[in-house]
Amino acid sequence: MDRFDREILDYVRSWSPYGGPPADEVLAEFGLTPGQLTERVHHIIAAENARHFQELAQPWRRVQASRERARMIGT
């Protein structure tokens, strides 16, 4: 996640208790419409979820590769 994405998430989090930021402030702050901001937030979250999943899956892939090597050697 880059700095701009982190700023967007921090901004959205800070406004969440109040129903979200005002449209004119979103445009002034980020140069985005509220719809574009929503799209960007969804994209950031999806990308972070995918990155996190990859990090969690990495050790399992090593185990699977090791098991496959052992199976090939044992055959």
What's the CA gap between 6 and 21, in Å, rounded? 16
* pLDDT tens by residue, 38-60: 999 999 999 999 998 888 888 88
User: What's the pTM?
Assistant: 0.71
Token pair belonging to 16: 């969440």
Least confident of 15-19, 26-30, 43-47, 67-71: 67-71
- Residue 74: what residue type? G
